[in-house]
Amino acid sequence: MAVSEQPPGPGLTNWLSEKLFHNYIWRSIFRSGYPSTPRNQMLVVATNVFLHLHPTRLHKTHVRITHTYCLGGITFFFFLSLTVTGVMLMFYYVPAADRAFQDVAALETNIRFGMLMRNLHRWMAHGMVISVFLHMMRVFYTGSYKPPREFNWLVGVILLTLTLALSFTGYLLPWDQLSIWAVTVGMNMAGTVPVMGQQQQLLLLGGFEVGDAALIRFYTLHVIGLPLIAAIFMAVHFWRIRRDGGLARPL
Amino acid sequence: MAVNAQAVSSEASATRPRREREQELLVWPDLVFVEFIAAMVFTFMFVLLSTMLDAPLLNQANLDITPNPSKAAWYLVALQELLLHMHPALGGVIAPTIGLAIIGAFPYIDRSNDGQGTWFGTPNAVKIILFSGAFASIFTVALILYDQGRHVNVITNVVQRSDKDWQWPGKLAPFQNVRSIQTGWEWSIPVPVSAQLGPGEHDGELNWPDDFTHVPMPFNGTSGPDWMRWGPPTFLPAWMQAMYWYDLNMNTPAFVVELFIPVAIMVILPVIMILMMRKLGWIHTMRDGSIGIFTGMMAVYFILTIIGAGFRGAGQDLVMPWDVPHID
């Protein structure tokens, strides 16, 4: 896309910005010029795959912090950060009953920044559950589920469930007394589902108690299955915000 | 023929006024920078938190050693708490699923567009939130204390100051907690011997809880009066026989204690709460009612989480937080 620019004014900064942001390589990557003019600011949002989740303009109430408290954004930020720290943890972790605990213990003692990564992953996971709850309460109390956003609220409820499932499957992975018993308690609850309970429990555990088979199932769900499903629903969630006219605001 | 896509959207959404340009901001920089700052703040906050506070790691998993208490993850502790008071399928699965379904259904119940995008939105919202939050919290705590038999301890302590030998009277045995309706209560109703149900003594009486544990479902083969006993449905294929109610008895005392009373409480209390706020003149619309129900549900979840995580010690006994044993 050809973008016409005003000629640069005099001065060193203008010369520098011209050299840095208006050259052939920059243009090949970003298409638009440096976002210093309204035109470029809109173009950068519209032509960037990540930024184009946003509209190019929005109503001024939407940037007021008390309108949203950024809670949905913070939840998404937690999801991204958890992906990064989770990938780091995957380098050192083998989901086998005889290794998992040692691997996690080694993260804490033998691996540089291993403890920090594990702590970050743990606390951000709790943070994500909390921010998802708070986001739901924000959306409810601001009446933002009202037409035409009914379906997006439903997608949000599914994402809440997925967040809990992600957290629950991750809970088992350290393979310590806390994790195995928390999951045993949780799975016993799942086992009481009328009609399907036992089968569902068997499906998730791969056996009659929390063991090797359960660990590999929880691991697979935690690192690829559920994140993939959550990412799909997130894409729908964000897409629908745009389609339904942006954030809710007084009519 | 061209299809008007707007025609399928609801009228309310179609009548939205056009946005005025002067009230708009550019996403870059006004929103993108706010998002960037929020991301930075949270990154620094959590890096700082993670350098100060280590994630827990107990001893290696061992299914032969059961920690007491063993607790679910904190966001499921509320359900674990429910399990103590009702049938596990009801507390652990059915009630939370219905709760989630109700949350999901709010936009389909409250369909008006009034007050969208503004905090609380209706004139009485704050009053409704405070009332339903307090109502739900107080009743949740009271019900847990009742089911834990705390009123028995309190009353016994008070009365024993004047009468040292006083004990909770046998007549009030069923009121020690919900379960004691099943275990601490015995009564009977006279019936003709021919109509006697249950496998117990056919003494012309139906005894609670003995005889009531065997109330036969229709087409029962093993218990109940002759007119109710049918042979097994051998004329059906085997897989259909397996689905048949043949030989099924209903344990009425357990049904009452584990299912009927909890369901009744979970239905009646919210209804009373809504009716009270209607009487007070606070609830006029579906939005008002939804706020009340949603707040009540959140309050119950919150209280159950606090009690389950902080106040449940060995054997899931109700103790003060400092008496909850440390697990390692």
Cis check: omega of the bond before B29, within 30 degrees of 0: yes
Residue B298 pLDDT greater than 70, yes or no = yes
Interface test with B, best of A120, A146, A183, A243 (most B CBs within 10 A): A146
Instruction: Give me the residues of B, 54-73, that contact A with CB < 8 A.
Output: 54-63, 65-67, 70-73
Q: Mean pLDDT, to the nearest integer, of B320-324?
A: 91
Residue A32 lies in a domain: yes
Q: Mean pLDDT, to the nearest integer, of A134-143?
A: 96
The answer to whether residues A111 and A160 touch, using CB atoms and an 8 Å cutoff, is: no
What pLDDT score does B225 carry?
63
Domain hosting residue A173, numbered range:
67-243
> pLDDT band for position A6 (50/70/90)?
low
Q: Is A136 exposed, middle or buried (0-12, 13-18, 19+ CB in 10 A)?
A: buried
What secondary structure letter does DSSP report for A139? Answer: H
Nearest CA in chain B to A62: B31
In a shared domain, residues A18 and A129: no
Going B41 to B47 to B50 to B51, the CA torsion angle's sign is negative
How many C-beta atoms surround the C-beta of residue B142 within 10 A?
12
What does the radius of gyration of chain B's CA atoms come to, in whole angstroms?
Answer: 28
What pLDDT score does B15 carry?
52
* A204 inside 8 A of chain B by CB: no
Q: Mean pLDDT, to the nearest integer, of A7-35?
A: 82
CATH of the domain at A239: 1.20.810.10
Distance between CA atoms of A62 and B25, rounded to whole angstroms?
Answer: 9
The residue count for chain A: 251
How far apart are the CA of B78 and the nearest CA of chain A, in angstroms? 11
Residues B264, B268, B270, CA angle at the centre, nearest 5°?
130
What pLDDT score does B206 carry?
81
Q: Which of A42, A105, A175 sits opposite B26 (nearest CB)?
A: A42
In a shared domain, residues A49 and A84: no
Q: Mean pLDDT, to the nearest integer, of A161-174?
A: 96
In a shared domain, residues A35 and A78: no
Distance between CA atoms of B192 and B206, rounded to whole angstroms?
Answer: 10
Residue A228 lies in a domain: yes
Interface test with B, best of A113, A189, A204 (most B CBs within 10 A): A189
What secondary structure letter does DSSP report for A223? Answer: I
DSSP string, B219-285: T-SSSS-GGG-----TTS-HHHHHTS-TT-EE-HHHHIIIIIHHHHHHHHHHHHHHHHHHHTT---S
Token couple for A122 = 């743990």
Q: Which residues pair with B216 in a beta bridge?
A: B249
> pLDDT band for position B7 (50/70/90)?
very low
How far apart are the CA of B283 and the nearest CA of chain A, in angstroms? 15
In a shared domain, residues A104 and A191: yes
What pLDDT score does B270 carry?
97
Residue A191 lies in a domain: yes
Q: Mean pLDDT, to the nearest integer, of B239-250?
A: 73
Residue A249 lies in a domain: no
The answer to whether residues B60 and A177 touch, using CB atoms and an 8 Å cutoff, is: yes
Q: Mean pLDDT, to the nearest integer, of B203-212?
A: 81
* A207 inside 8 A of chain B by CB: no
* A196 inside 8 A of chain B by CB: no
Angle at which helices A114-141 and A150-172 cross, to 10°: 150
In a shared domain, residues A197 and A224: yes
In a shared domain, residues A82 and A191: yes
Which ipTM did the prediction report? 0.90
Residue B3 pLDDT greater than 50, yes or no = no
Q: Mean pLDDT, to the nearest integer, of A234-239?
A: 96
> pLDDT band for position A209 (50/70/90)?
confident
Instruction: Give me the residues of A, 137-156, that contact B with CB < 8 A.
Output: 137, 140-150, 153-154
What pLDDT score does B8 carry?
46
What pLDDT score does B198 carry?
60
Least confident of B2-6, B270-274, B298-302, B320-324: B2-6
Residue A31 lies in a domain: yes
What pLDDT score does B9 carry?
47
Q: Mean pLDDT, to the nearest integer, of A79-90?
A: 97
> If DSSP codes are grouped into helix, strand and coil, which group holds residue B208?
strand
- Tally of structural domains, chain A: 2
**Is A58–B39 a contact, with Cβ atoms under 8 angstroms apart?**
no
In a shared domain, residues A81 and A105: yes
Residue A218 lies in a domain: yes
* % of chain B at pLDDT higher than 90: 55
How many C-beta atoms surround the C-beta of residue A151 within 10 A?
17
Interface test with A, best of B75, B102, B255 (most A CBs within 10 A): B75
Pairing type for strands B205-208 and B187-190 reads antiparallel
Task: Give the pLDDT confidence of B127-138 residue by residue, as tens digits.
Answer: 999 999 999 999
> pLDDT band for position B190 (50/70/90)?
confident
In a shared domain, residues A122 and A46: no
What pLDDT score does B224 carry?
60
Cis check: omega of the bond before B69, within 30 degrees of 0: yes
What pLDDT score does B200 carry?
61
How far apart are the CA of A7 and the nearest CA of chain B, in angstroms? 22
Q: Which of B10, B53, B57 sits opposite A148 (nearest CB)?
A: B10
Residue B222 pLDDT greater than 80, yes or no = no
How does the average pLDDT of chain A come out, rounded?
90
- Ordered by start, the domain boundaries in chain B are 75-154+258-323, 174-256
Residue B199 pLDDT greater than 60, yes or no = no
Residues of chain B positioned with their CB less than 8 A from the CB of A157: 100, 103-104
3-state helix, strand, coil in chain A (%, to 5): 70, 0, 30
How does the average pLDDT of chain B come out, rounded?
86
